[in-house]
C-alpha cells in the first residue's frame, strides 16, 4: 500500500541519495541565516538563544488573567500571549446584547483602558514580549497596550510583541471578523504605517495558518493560503504608499505543529524558502530581514482528545519537537486538558515544563538545523514547496487571496480536507489513540476549570462607572473624529488612540467604524 502524508503527497519507504540527485544544496539550503533561509533565519539559531517560550493564557476578568500571567512568569515563561473572549474579539463591550453568555469564557474580557491596566498590573511592559491574539479590533487593543505602557513610563519605541491582526484568515476559517474585507485591509495597512513611526519594534501582523489548519487545512494548504494572504497584505501596504523594506521586517507568521513530525519540519523549511523568494523576486525586497519568514508556533489543539486526556502530553511533546526542529522563533504548548475546558494551573505548568525540558535537557540547542541534508526531509520539503506553489498559482489566477476569498475558494478547499479526515477517522483508516483504537473504560473523573458567570454583571458595573465618570462630550467629539477618519483617506489609528484615552470603550470605537464601513455578511448567510 502506498503511504502518503497529511497533504496527500507520497512518502517513500526509503529515501537515498538518488532521491535528491538533482538537489542543489547551495541554492535550496544556503547557510543558516542566509537567503533563502531554509536552514533558519539566524546563523546560530538556538545555540545562541532558545526560542521564546510563550503560554497562551487569558480567561474571566483582567484580574484573574493577571494572576495567571504572574504565575507563568514565576514558572519561567519568557513571553506572554493573551487570549481574549469572543465579545472582545468581535468588538463588543461586555454589556452589549451580543455579548450575553460569552463574557470571559474563551479569553479575558477587555472593555476599556481600565481593564488593560489591570491585565498588566505589576508587569513591566518594557521588559516583556507580549503577543495578542486579536484580529478585527487588533489596532484598538494595541493602542490600549501602548497607553498602559506609557503610563508605566515605557518608551513606545522599545515595546516588543505581536498583534495577530490577520483579518483575511477570519473570512476563510475562523469567523471573528467585523468589517468587510476591503476596509479591514485598509485598517491593517494603517496599523503598519502607525507602528513604523510609533512602535518600530512591534510585529504588526502574525499571518496565521494555524486557524486554517485547525479548521482542517492540510500542511500544503496551510502554507499556500497563509503565504497568499501575506502577499495580499504586502500589496495593500505598498499600494498605500509604504516602501516594502519599511514594514516587511516586522511581518511575522503563525503556524501549527502537528504530530506528523517529518512533514511539519519540511513544511516550515518550505515556507521559509518560498517567502524569501516571493519577497525578493515579486516585491523587490532588498533588506534580508524583509525576506525572512519569522514565525510563532502553537501545538495542534485540534489533535487533542477528551478521551484519555493524559495521552495529550505525548502528543504535545511530539508537536513541540516538530516546531523546534523546524526552527520556530517562539512556541506555545497546549495543556493536556484543553479538549475538555480551560487549562487548569497544573496543566498549564506541565505544558510550560515540556518546552523547558526540550530546551534544557535535550541536545537540540547544541547544533543548528539537525535535519539538514536528511534525504527524507529535503525530499519532502521539495514536494511540499511544489504543491504549495501550485496551489498559490491557482489563487493568483483568481486575482489573489482577496478575490479567492470572495469566491469562497479557500474555505471550500479546507472543508473538503476536513471532511476527508473525519471520514478516515470514522472508518478507522486514521488511528486516534484512545478514540478509535486503544480505548479505555476506566476514565478518571475530572473537574474542569469553570468561569464564574457573574463576571458579566461585574464587567457591566465597571462600564457603567466609566461612562458615568468620564467627559461624555469629549468622548462624542473623538468618536466623530474616528468616523471622519474612516470616511476619509487618513490613518485611522491616531483618532482611535485619542478616543480611547478620552474614555471611549472598545465597543464604542468599533461601533464608530461599523457606522462607516458596515458589517461583513458571508455570501452563504442570508
Cα(210)–Cα(516) distance, integer angstroms: 31
The answer to whether the CB of 69 falls within 8 A of the CB of 57 is yes
Cα 318 to Cα 140: distance, rounded to the nearest angstrom: 36
Per-residue confidence (pLDDT) for residue 524, from 0 to 100: 65
Residue 129 · residue 175 · CB < 8 Å: no
What are the residues whose beta carbons fall under 8 Å from the beta carbon of 140, sequence distance 6 or more? Answer: 91, 496, 500, 506, 509, 510
**pLDDT for residue 58:** 87
Q: What does the block give as the cell for 387?
A: 504543491
What is the C-alpha separation between 398 and 313, in angstroms, rounded? 42
Roughly how many angstroms between the first and final C-alpha of the chain, as a whole number?
A: 46
Which structural domains are found in the chain, ordered by start? Answer: 36-426 (3.20.20.240), 455-517 (no CATH)
The DSSP code for 133 is E
Q: How far apart are CA 247 and CA 235, in angstroms?
A: 12
**What distance lies between CA 307 and its chain's CA centroid?**
27
Per-residue burial over 237-252, b if 16 or more Cβ lie within 10 Å, else e, is: bbebebebbbbbbbbb
How far is the C-alpha of 343 from the C-alpha of 451, rounded, in Å? 11
Residue whose C-alpha is closest to residue 277's, from 235, 321, 227: 227
| Cross-strand bridge partners of residue 459 | none
Residues 180, 379 contacting (CB under 8 angstroms): no
Q: Which residue ranges of the chain lie beneath pLDDT 70?
A: 1, 524-526
Region for residue 284 given its phi and psi (left: phi exceeds 0; alpha: psi -120 to 50; beta: otherwise): left
Cell numbers that stand for 71 in this block? 504565575
Separation of alpha carbons 84 and 132, rounded Å:
8
Q: Can you give the pLDDT at residue 1?
A: 59
> Which cell numbers hold the place of 7?
497533504
Report DSSP letters for 385-399, one per residue. HHHHHHHHHHHHHTT
108: DSSP letter: B
* CB 312, CB 304: distance < 8 Å: yes
DSSP letter at 139? Answer: H
Q: How far is CA 493 from CA 173, 440, 476, 507, in A?
A: 27, 54, 17, 15
Peptide bond into 423 cis (omega under 30): no
The pair phi, psi for residue 256, each rounded to 5°, is: -90, 160
- Any idea how long the chain is? 526
Residue 252's SS3 state is strand
Grid coordinates representing 104 are 470571559
- 457 phi and psi angles, rounded to 5 deg: -70, -35
Q: What's the confidence (pLDDT) of residue 441? A: 83
Which set of grid coordinates corresponds to residue 499?
Answer: 478616543
- pTM exceeding 0.85: yes
Amino acid at each position: 500500500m502506498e503511504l502518503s502524508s497529511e497533504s496527500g503527497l507520497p512518502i517513500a519507504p526509503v529515501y537515498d541519495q538518488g532521491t535528491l540527485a538533482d538537489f542543489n544544496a547551495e541554492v535550496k539550503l544556503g547557510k543558516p541565516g542566509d537567503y533563502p533561509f531554509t536552514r533558519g533565519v539566524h546563523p546560530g539559531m538556538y545555540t545562541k538563544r532558545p526560542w521564546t517560550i510563550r503560554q497562551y493564557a487569558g480567561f474571566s476578568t483582567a484580574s484573574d488573567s493577571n494572576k495567571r500571567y504572574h504565575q507563568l512568569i514565576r514558572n519561567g515563561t519568557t513571553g506572554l500571549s493573551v487570549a481574549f473572549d469572543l465579545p472582545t474579539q468581535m468588538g463588543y463591550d461586555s454589556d452589549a446584547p451580543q455579548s450575553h453568555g460569552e463574557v470571559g469564557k474563551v479569553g479575558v474580557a477587555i472593555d476599556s483602558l481600565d481593564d488593560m491596566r489591570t491585565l498588566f498590573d505589576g508587569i513591566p511592559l518594557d521588559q516583556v514580549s507580549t503577543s495578542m491574539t486579536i484580529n478585527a479590533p487588533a489596532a484598538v487593543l494595541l493602542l490600549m497596550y501602548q497607553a498602559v505602557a506609557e503610563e508605566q513610563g515605557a518608551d513606545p519605541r522599545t515595546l516588543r510583541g505581536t498583534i495577530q491582526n490577520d483579518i483575511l484568515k477570519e473570512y476563510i476559517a475562523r469567523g471573528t471578523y467585523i468589517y468587510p474585507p476591503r476596509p479591514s485591509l485598509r485598517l491593517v495597512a494603517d496599523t503598519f504605517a502607525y507602528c513604523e513611526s510609533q512602535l518600530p519594534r512591534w510585529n504588526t501582523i502574525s499571518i496565521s495558518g494555524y486557524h486554517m489548519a485547525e479548521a482542517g487545512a492540510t500542511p500544503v494548504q496551510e502554507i499556500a493560503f497563509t503565504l497568499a494572504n501575506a502577499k495580499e497584505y504586502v500589496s495593500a501596504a505598498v499600494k498605500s504608499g509604504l516602501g516594502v523594506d519599511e514594514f516587511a521586517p516586522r511581518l511575522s507568521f503563525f503556524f501549527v505543529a502537528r504530530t506528523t513530525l517529518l512533514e511539519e519540519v519540511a513544511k516550515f523549511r518550505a515556507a521559509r524558502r518560498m517567502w524569501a523568494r516571493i519577497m525578493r523576486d515579486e516585491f523587490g525586497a532588498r533588506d534580508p530581514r524583509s525576506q525572512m519568514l519569522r514565525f510563532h508556533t502553537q501545538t495542534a489543539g485540534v489533535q487533542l482528545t477528551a478521551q484519555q486526556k493524559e495521552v495529550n502530553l505525548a502528543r504535545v511533546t511530539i508537536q513541540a519537537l516538530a516546531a523546534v526542529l523546524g526552527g520556530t522563533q517562539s512556541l506555545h504548548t497546549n495543556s493536556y486538558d484543553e479538549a475538555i475546558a480551560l487549562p487548569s494551573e497544573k496543566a498549564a505548568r506541565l505544558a510550560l515544563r515540556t518546552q523547558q525540558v526540550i530546551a534544557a535537557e535535550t541536545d537540540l540547542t547544541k547544533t543548528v538545523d539537525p535535519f539538514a541534508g536528511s534525504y527524507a526531509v529535503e525530499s519532502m520539503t521539495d514536494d511540499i514547496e511544489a504543491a504549495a506553489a501550485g496551489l498559490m498559482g491557482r489563487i493568483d489566477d483568481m486575482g489573489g487571496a482577496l478575490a479567492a476569498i470572495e469566491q469562497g475558494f479557500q474555505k471550500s478547499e479546507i472543508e473538503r480536507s476536513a471532511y476527508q479526515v473525519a471520514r478516515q477517522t470514522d472508518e478507522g483508516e486514521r488511528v486516534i489513540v484512545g478514540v478509535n483504537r486503544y480505548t479505555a473504560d476506566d476514565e478518571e473523573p475530572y473537574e474542569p476549570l469553570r468561569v464564574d458567570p457573574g463576571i458579566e454583571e461585574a464587567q457591566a458595573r465597571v462600564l457603567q462607572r466609566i461612562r458615568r465618570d468620564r467627559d461624555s462630550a469629549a468622548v462624542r467629539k473623538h468618536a466623530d473624529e474616528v468616523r471622519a477618519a474612516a470616511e476619509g483617506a487618513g490613518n485611522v489609528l491616531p483618532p482611535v488612540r485619542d478616543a480611547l484615552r478620552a474614555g471611549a470603550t472598545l465597543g464604542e470605537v468599533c461601533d464608530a467604524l461599523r457606522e462607516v464601513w458596515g458589517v461583513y455578511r458571508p455570501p452563504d448567510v442570508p
